[in-house]
Amino acid sequence: MTLATPLDAHNSHPVDTERRPHPPRKTPRQTRSKHLVEAILEAAARVFDQHGFERGTTNRIAELAGVSVGSLYQYFPNKKALVTALHARHMQEVGQLIGQDLRDGATQPLAASIDHLVFSLLQIHHQNARLQRVLHMEMPFYRPDPVGEPLASTPAQDLMAVLQAHRAELATPDLDQAAAMVLHMGEALVHAAVLNPPPGLGLPALAEGISQALQGYLLRPRVDAGARG
Partner DNA sequence: CATGAATGAGAGTTCATTCAT
Partner DNA sequence: GATGAATGAACTCTCATTCAT
Report the alpha-carbon distance of residue 181 to residue 221 in Å, rounded: 17
Q: Which of the choices a copy of itself, DNA, none does residue 163 contact, using the CB cut-off of 5 to 8 A by kind? A: none
By the 10 Å C-beta count (0-12 exposed, 13-18 middle, 19+ buried), 28 is classed as middle
**Interface with DNA by CB under 7 A: which residues?**
26, 30, 32-33, 36, 54-59, 67-71, 73-74, 77-80
Q: Is 173 in the site for a copy of itself (CB under 8 A)?
A: no
CA distances from 46 to 130, 201, 203 (A): 9, 27, 23
**Of the candidates 183, 180, 162, 167, the residue with the CA atom closest to the CA atom of residue 219:** 167
Q: Is 175 in the site for a copy of itself (CB under 8 A)?
A: no
Q: Which range touches a copy of itself (CB under 8 A), out of 31-39, 52-60, 63-71, 91-99?
A: 52-60
Rounded to a whole number of angstroms, the minimum distance from the CB of residue 12 to DNA is 18
Report the alpha-carbon distance of residue 31 to residue 145 in Å, rounded: 23
The residue type of 137 is M
Contacts of 114 (CB under 8 A, 6+ apart): 182, 211, 214, 215, 218
Q: Is 66 in the site for a copy of itself (CB under 8 A)?
A: no
Q: Is 197 in the site for a copy of itself (CB under 8 A)?
A: yes
Q: Which of the choices DNA, a copy of itself, none does residue 77 contact, using the CB cut-off of 5 to 8 A by kind? A: DNA
Interface of this chain with a copy of itself, residues 112 to 151, rule: CB under 8 A: 112, 115-116, 119, 122-123, 126-130, 133, 136-138, 140
How many residues in the shown chain lie near a copy of itself by CB under 8 A?
84
